Amino acid sequence: MADRPEHRLSEIHAVLAASRVSWEWLIQLDGERDRALPAEVAADPRTQVERNGRQLGIATTRNRALSRATAPLLLNVDSDDVPAREALTDLPPAFEDPAVGLGFGDWVEHWPDRDPWIPDVRFDPGRLEPGRLSQIWAAERWVPLHLAGAMWRTDAVLAAGGWTATVGGADIGLLLGVDAEWASFYVPVTTFTYHHHGDQVTASDEWRAQFDLDMRFLERRRQALDRLSGRSIAGR
């Protein structure tokens, strides 16, 4: 969790608290400032908080939380986005298939001055074979799902090396690693809400320029993973 004013920790906690699944919320605070959490979050014994002590960035912050995870499934939640209750109930059954490493659904995007947007998802419900999402990314430099609201098998994330240490491709780097060896599963329900706001680093021109540079590394990573898995390299 980065040091930003527009966090939605109380809303996230309300969703978790209303669910009937067993959960633990591992909050990893990025930055130097020791900020107070909402009272209901701090008081919940299922919430475990650690601090980086200095600004380390998204990938390192998530990986430090990952190092503390003991549950078989992970749902990454950024502090300015809110998961839907359906993410906690409708995504876990996908992992009953031991070959599935990633489960995802639909999402809603909100802007301060625009109507909500629900993207079209091109997948049929159910399983996607390993390599399918990487093939789409190779052709389009985009995948029709939002990784900020995805659920992951913990072992798959650990085996893939966690979130990739890039400026803008931490999620994509992880996706490529997991997708190389694991199937994915699409569940046609809304699993989280993505909130756009002025404090997002990803909205800046500087971030986008750095992201473009990171694409070169991510493409090399994809090619290497394709070679190791024996698949042909699309767009080589």
First CA to last CA distance, the chain? 36
Tens-binned pLDDT, residue by residue, of the chain (236 aa): 444 545 789 999 999 999 989 999 999 999 877 778 999 999 999 999 999 999 998 899 999 999 999 999 999 988 888 999 999 999 999 999 999 999 999 999 887 777 877 878 889 999 999 999 999 999 999 898 989 889 999 999 999 999 999 887 899 999 999 999 999 999 999 999 888 755 656 556 676 778 888 999 999 999 999 999 886 544 44
pLDDT at 221: 95
Q: What is the CATH number of the domain that holds 217?
A: 3.90.550.10
Is residue 234 included in any domain, yes or no? no
Is residue 127 included in any domain, yes or no? yes
pLDDT at 169: 87
Is residue 101 included in any domain, yes or no? yes
Is residue 235 included in any domain, yes or no? no
What percentage of the chain exceeds 70 in pLDDT? 91
Structural domain harbouring 125: 9-229
Is residue 221 included in any domain, yes or no? yes
User: Structurally, how many domains does the chain consist of?
Assistant: 1
Check: pTM over 0.75? Answer yes or no: yes
